[in-house]
Amino acid sequence: MDALIPFMFCRSDYPRYGDDPAKSSVPYIKRLIKNGIYFNLVRLRKEGDLMDEAKDREYAPSFMVKRQKQYAYLLHNPYLNVSLDRNHR
């Protein structure tokens, strides 16, 4: 039965952002991370609202919260205080 379904209907993960060279450049991805934006340009949270343990009980798994120094690279936005170039080529 599956062989009768056209291939384009089997792939449900469209649009494929990795296929667009402009959206796969490192500077573009850094800006998305800095501003808390998904690839489909939807914000993760309100603009300027940073996540922390006090605001969100699901901020991070408990083992990461207990070892914040060890997991700082995952818990904190590395681009928050960095000026990023608008050119993403």
CA 28 to chain CA mean position, Å: 11
Considering only CA atoms, which of 37, 60, 56 is closest in space to residue 47?
37
Per-residue pLDDT reduced to its tens digit, 18-73: 777 888 888 888 888 888 888 888 887 776 667 777 777 777 898 998 999 999 98
Amino acid present at 47: E
| pLDDT reported for residue 80 | 82
| pLDDT reported for residue 7 | 53
Examine residue 88 and state whether it is found in any structural domain, yes or no.
no
| pLDDT reported for residue 69 | 93
Domain residues for the domain of 47 are 2-75
Examine residue 6 and state whether it is found in any structural domain, yes or no.
yes
| pLDDT reported for residue 8 | 53
Considering only CA atoms, which of 10, 27, 43 is closest in space to residue 85?
27
Number of domains in the chain: 1
CA 14 to chain CA mean position, Å: 17
Examine residue 49 and state whether it is found in any structural domain, yes or no.
yes
Examine residue 71 and state whether it is found in any structural domain, yes or no.
yes
Residue 2 binned pLDDT confidence (cut-offs 50, 70, 90): low
3-state secondary structure (DSSP) of residue 89: coil
